[in-house]
Structure 1
Amino acid sequence: MRVTTGMITAQYSRNLNRSLSKLNYLNNRATTLRKFNRASEDPVAAAKAYSLRRSFTDNDDYVKNLEDTENMMLTAESSMMGLNSIAQEVSSGDMLQAVNGTMSKEDREIIATKLIKMQDAMLSTMNTKYGDRYLFGGSTMTKPPFTVAADGSLLYKGVDVTTGLHQGTPGVGGSASVGGALIDFGAANESKFNDYSISIVNGTTPNAIDTAAKTITINVSTVPTKQDLQTVLQGLTGSTDVTVKGDLTQTVGIGTAQVSGGENKITAGTSVDLKELMNEKMYVDIGLGLDYNANGLNEQSVFDSSLPGINFLGCGVDKNGKPQNMYVLLGQIATELEKPTLDTGATDSLIKGFNNQKQVLLTQITQFGSKTNFLKYADTRLDDTSLNLNKKILDNEFVEPAEAIMDFKMQEFAYMSALQMGTKIIQPTFLDFMR
């Protein structure tokens, strides 16, 4: 086979370009320290990188949830210790221990006044907020959990903590803000439209409501103004209680929103199971392997961050019909002390009930401590997981600087050698002889 100068030159040029291309690749690798920049360069490593980064992002979300829960628990713990301090002070020699049958009415009234102030301190403590959330409202954190009714009875989320009877609440309509319009679905509809998705769209889609899918779709061309939107909504829902707030002559834009905030009316005197309120749950995903079983959510795969306040103050009555709430007991003790004649039997019984509930409070604080300890262990585990995932990501996607620089210098040496070899391989031309 005849080998020509052109063939040698072409082959040399191709090899030199390959060497230059590899030099460029290694230069980029030494600069970025990345093993690959496109998935096509290493599909297996790219797939692994996606999986690792997804796991790292999930773990980061767990860490954020955990940190928020830990901070919330620390605030709650501080409030609980404050509540315990109040209970200890009430039981001190200056208050309940000083009560006896020989005290004057004036002395009893002084203690009664102190007890009422301690009631206020308890109420304030149990309505502690963390950010915009009330800590001791169980599964409801948007409203103060404890309030005092007009007759002086203590209410937890509207329920009398002694009798378990609800004071009653009016219905509240849901609302949604979409396309620049605030829609009120009316108190008469209560929670009927909660979780409905309402969309105002372009195109030829007809106005419709799907009760099964919980969607309301409105074509923007049919609702040039808010007045038109209100008319269409009243027609679709069959309720004239649905209204659009603000200036009804304003135009409507496109958008999507979810209806929320509706609450059903509760009739005054409705009996509520206090145990259900005590056992309310509010779950947080902190990386325990969120899982569902035949009964729904697997409670072992999530963390329960709810803190129903009546678990700490107490609720209901004992077998003798005496209240088991610290706030209520203090009020009744104060009432007994303010009477012209002290009923020592009744007072002693109430004081004994308060001391018993104080022990229940200590038990609840101890159980709460186990929750905070669990969070500390979980925090350590998530930190370790984060470090391990980060190491795997670095090993999979990045190269050691020394290795990258060494590879680059070796390829640079090979390229420079190839350039020098080229002057010897390629034959001189006629012009070279003419010099």
Structure 2
Amino acid sequence: MRITQNMMNNSLLNNLRNNYAQMDKYMEQLSTGKKINRPSDDPVVAMRGINYRSELGKVEQFDRNMGELRNWMETSDETMNQSGQALSRVREIIVQASNDTYEEEQRESMSKEVDQIKNHLIDLANTKVNNKYIFNGTNTLEARFTDDGELIANPKNDEAVMIEVSEGIQIKANINPSNAFSEDLFTELNNLVEGLQNPDMSGDNFDEYLNVIDSHTNDLLNERADLGARMNRVDLLETRLSQQEISTNKIMSENEDAHMEEVIMNLKMQESIYRSSLSAGARIIQPTLMDFLR
């Protein structure tokens, strides 16, 4: 086959384009830090990257769920702590009232304080997190109690709110509100307010209220202990989720990130090849008529 000048020129141009394309590839890798920048660069790496990103997306969603779960739990724990302190103060008032040496005006002040504590407990029972009521079961859009301490929903909702924090693992976010904020508690507090205002009520009659408050306090403590056990498990799951996120990011980086030393070396080599191609091309191109006229 006869090799013409035109064939040599076309071959040279094709080789130059290929060399330039290779140099552009390494320049792109150097600027982006990635082995591939489009699926066509390496379909296998691209497909693995899609799977890793999907897995990382799940981990990040579980991490967001974990944040919401912890927010619920920590708010619930702090709210029950405040409730326990309030009940402790009520107990102190009852003990004081059982002493018949207090005058009518003093007992009236005690009744007003108990009434304010009751209102405070109602506010605590209607606590919201991210605009959701956390002590009304799965009915998170409605308050549990009225301002007078009466149940709004009937029947009451004590259902568990479950949040998925890992593949196939769900954790209960809320507590049983009937154990922490029983409607009977507010009824008993109302009765205590009336009893303190009754001058005919002797100190011995307050012993029954002590038993009632102690019973509610124990229910509150038991519910808080159950919440604490779940919070400990959440701590373990958070550590596991954090390790999973780090591991997935590492695998994804190993799959996609370019080895910069290798990229720089390949780029320098390709630049050398490109310059050599240009130099060789200058010798191959046929001399023009002007060259003979010099």
Q: Which interval holds the TM-score relative to the shorter structure?
A: 0.7 to 0.9
Amino acid of the residue matched to residue 282 of structure 1?
Answer: V
Q: Please give the residue correspondences for 1:364-379 in structure 2 after superposition, counting only pairs within 5 Å.
A: 364-379=223-238
Deviations 1:103-140 (A, max 9, x none): 45614443333222221111111112223212211111
Distance, in Å, in 2 between the alignment partners of 1:62 and 1:332 is 47
Q: Secondary structure at the match of 2:23?
A: helix
> Of Structure 1 and Structure 2, which has the larger fraction of its residues in helix?
2
Amino acid of the residue matched to residue 121 of structure 2?
Answer: M
Q: CA deviation at 1:20?
A: 1.8
In structure 2, relative to structure 1, the CA distance for the partners of 1:343 and 1:411 (3 Å cut) is: same
Q: Please give the residue correspondences for 1:355-370 in structure 2 after superposition, counting only pairs within 5 Å.
A: 355-370=214-229
2:107–2:197 contact (8 Å) kept in structure 1: yes
Q: CA deviation at 1:355?
A: 0.9
Detail structure 1 runs of 4+ shifted over 6 Å in the superposition: none
Q: Secondary structure at the match of 1:303?
A: strand
Deviations 1:76-98 (A, max 9, x none): 22222111110111222xx1222
Stretches of structure 1 lacking an aligned partner (at least 5 in a row)? 160-271, 291-300, 316-324
Q: Please give the residue correspondences for 1:190-209 in structure 2 after superposition, counting only pairs within 5 Å.
A: none
Residue 306 (structure 1) aligned to one of 150, 174, 181 = 174
Q: CA deviation at 1:5?
A: 4.9
Which residue matches 2:265? 406
In structure 2, relative to structure 1, the CA distance for the partners of 1:341 and 1:15 (3 Å cut) is: same
User: 47-56 or 66-75, which moves further after superposition?
Assistant: 66-75
Amino acid of the residue matched to residue 397 of structure 1?
Answer: E
Which residue matches 1:283? 162
Deviations 1:244-274 (A, max 9, x none): xxxxxxxxxxxxxxxxxxxxxxxxxxxx4x6
Distance, in Å, in 2 between the alignment partners of 1:61 and 1:15 is 49
1:99 has 2:90 as partner: no
Residue 191 (structure 2) aligned to one of 315, 332, 337 = 332
Percent sequence identity over aligned pairs: 24
Q: Secondary structure at the match of 1:302?
A: strand
1:147–1:158 contact (8 Å) kept in structure 2: no
Distance, in Å, in 1 between the alignment partners of 2:66 and 2:127 is 20
Amino acid of the residue matched to residue 160 of structure 2?
Answer: K
Deviations 1:29-72 (A, max 9, x none): 22222222222221111111111111222222222222223223
Amino acid of the residue matched to residue 284 of structure 1?
Answer: I
Q: CA deviation at 1:281?
A: 1.5
Q: How many pairs were matched up?
A: 293
Amino acid of the residue matched to residue 182 of structure 2?
Answer: G
Amino acid of the residue matched to residue 304 of structure 1?
Answer: K
Distance, in Å, in 2 between the alignment partners of 1:42 and 1:397 is 10
1:66–1:379 contact (8 Å) kept in structure 2: yes
1:388 has 2:247 as partner: yes
Amino acid of the residue matched to residue 118 of structure 1?
Answer: I
Q: CA deviation at 1:358?
A: 0.7
Which residue matches 2:256? 397
2:98–2:202 contact (8 Å) kept in structure 1: no
In structure 2, relative to structure 1, the CA distance for the partners of 1:109 and 1:364 (3 Å cut) is: same
Q: CA deviation at 1:330?
A: 2.3
Q: Secondary structure at the match of 1:155?
A: coil
Distance, in Å, in 1 between the alignment partners of 2:284 and 2:151 is 94
Q: CA deviation at 1:142?
A: 1.3
2:79–2:124 contact (8 Å) kept in structure 1: yes
Which residue matches 2:72? 72
Q: Which has the higher contact order (CA 8 A, sep 6+)?
A: 2
Residue 155 (structure 1) aligned to one of 150, 157, 172 = 150
Q: Give the alignment's TM-score, normalised by structure 2.
A: 0.86
Distance, in Å, in 1 between the alignment partners of 2:211 and 2:72 is 33
User: 95-104 or 346-355, which moves further after superposition?
Assistant: 95-104
Q: Secondary structure at the match of 2:150?
A: strand
Deviations 1:131-189 (A, max 9, x none): 3212211111112111256xxxx433434xxxxxxxxxxxxxxxxxxxxxxxxxxxxxx
1:138 has 2:17 as partner: no
Q: CA deviation at 1:403?
A: 2.8
Distance, in Å, in 1 between the alignment partners of 2:9 and 2:197 is 114
Q: CA deviation at 1:424?
A: 4.4
Distance, in Å, in 2 between the alignment partners of 1:9 and 1:57 is 52
In structure 2, relative to structure 1, the CA distance for the partners of 1:374 and 1:96 (3 Å cut) is: same
Q: Please give the residue correspondences for 1:18-417 in structure 2 after superposition, counting only pairs within 5 Å.
A: 18-92=18-92, 95-100=93-98, 102-103=100-101, 106=104, 107-147=106-146, 154-159=149-154, 272=155, 277-278=157-158, 280-286=159-165, 288-290=166-168, 301-314=169-182, 325-342=184-201, 346-417=205-276
Amino acid of the residue matched to residue 142 of structure 1?
Answer: L
2:114–2:193 contact (8 Å) kept in structure 1: yes
Q: CA deviation at 1:312?
A: 0.6
Amino acid of the residue matched to residue 420 of structure 1?
Answer: S
Q: CA deviation at 1:283?
A: 1.8
> Of Structure 1 and Structure 2, which has the larger fraction of its residues in strand?
1
